Every structure is written in structure tokens, then in C-alpha cells.
Amino acid sequence: MATTNDIKNGTVLKIDGQLWNIIEFQHVKPGKGGAFVRTKMRNITSGKVVDRTFNAGAKIDTATVDRRDYQYLYKDGTDFVFMDTEDYDQIHISAEAVGDAANFMLENQNVLIALNEGAPLYIELPPSVTLEITYTEPGLQGDRSSAGTKPATLETGYEIQVPLFLETGTKVKVDTRDGSYLGRVND
């Protein structure tokens, strides 16, 4: 058993049979009364984010989470197939567990997969990835303003908003947390 003093970002807690990932935490020592820990947690299965306060020093149940490097191989029906980069074992992960990460994954890309007792919990991607635009409407000649945007389809099939001057075949950097355009990548 751990205590609230052991809480860090990324810690996974077991509360009422469900797993919760700590996104943010803050130790608070008010002038009057006992100290406490204020946390923001995400439910690993549902994705729901909640705020929760614990008394300082209270016992908490932490879950053992093993984060390992895997390589994304291919999509098999609704499942995604990954290979462990250390022992070359392959695992199938459902589309629900992969979630929004599917919008930014290319074959042979390395990802970090969090496992609890052998069951995949979620996939961690780098903060940004480089993807190629496979289709976008042609921009107007001379339109180099940063004010306008247009939809563009990436090589993963995901659609983002990009500046008007970008064309099909351009490589762009995309934020994997919210799917926003970060900039053009020159080869």
C-alpha cells in the first residue's frame, strides 16, 4: 500500500475496482487544518476526467503499470497489431483501447503501450508526429495569409485544418493530443 505522498503524474490508482491515471496533482498545506492532496484523474477505460481530493498521508491502492516500447505493424479487422521491440511478441489491441491514437499512427511507428497485468490500458504517442497530406483543395495563388484554413486529409485518413497555402503531398507536423496543425516540415 502506498500513501498520497507517493502520488506523481502518471501514477495509476485502483479506486473501486477501476483504474485512474493521475494527470495533475498538488500538495496543499492550508494555514489552518490538515494538509491534503488535490488531484485531477482520468479513468483509463472511459476517459472521464474528475477532480478528487485526498487527505495527506492517506493510504491509496496503486496499480502496477508496465510501459513498454512496441512497434505498430498493421490493422487486422477492428484490432491493431503491435510487436514488442525487445522480445518480438505480437499483441492485438482493440480499437477502443487504441482510441484517438489511431488517427496519428503509421505502420512501423514506435509507440509506448501501458500494460496492467498483461492487459493493454492505453497507448502513448510522442507529443507530435509528421504526416503527409494526401488530399486538400488547391489553395488560391497569392493567398499566403495565416487567417484562413481549409480541411486536409492526412495519410492516416484523419482530417485536420491547415493554412490555405498548403498543398497535397506536403508533410506537416501534427499535435497528437488535440489534432492541431503545428507547422510544415521541409524534407
Q: What is the pLDDT of residue 23?
A: 85
Domain range summary for the chain, segments of one domain joined by +: 2-60, 66-124, 128-185
Q: What is the pLDDT of residue 125?
A: 87
pLDDT tens for residues 113-148?
A: 888 888 888 888 888 899 998 988 886 655 555 567
2-60 and 128-185 in the same fold:
no
The mean pLDDT of 82-111, rounded to a whole number, is 89
Residues in the chain: 187
- pTM for the whole thing? 0.70
128-185 architecture in CATH?
Beta Barrel (2.40)
Asked whether the predicted pLDDT for residue 12 surpasses 60, the reply is yes
Cβ atoms 119, 166 nearer than 8 A: no
Cβ atoms 93, 78 nearer than 8 A: no
- CATH number at 2-60: 2.30.30.30
**Could you confirm whether domain 66-124 is CATH 3.30.365.10?**
no
Q: What is the pLDDT of residue 146?
A: 53
Q: Which three cell numbers stand for residue 22?
A: 493521475
Cβ atoms 122, 63 nearer than 8 A: no
Q: What is the pLDDT of residue 71?
A: 93
Q: What is the largest CA-CA distance in the chain?
A: 66
Asked whether the predicted pLDDT for residue 40 surpasses 90, the reply is yes
Neighbours of 170 (CB within 10 A): 16
Cα–Cα distance, 82 to 185 (Å, whole number): 27
β-pairing, 128-136 vs 149-154, is antiparallel
Q: Convert 45-64 to b/e letters by CB count within 10 Å (16 or more is b).
A: eeeeeeeeebeeeeebeebe
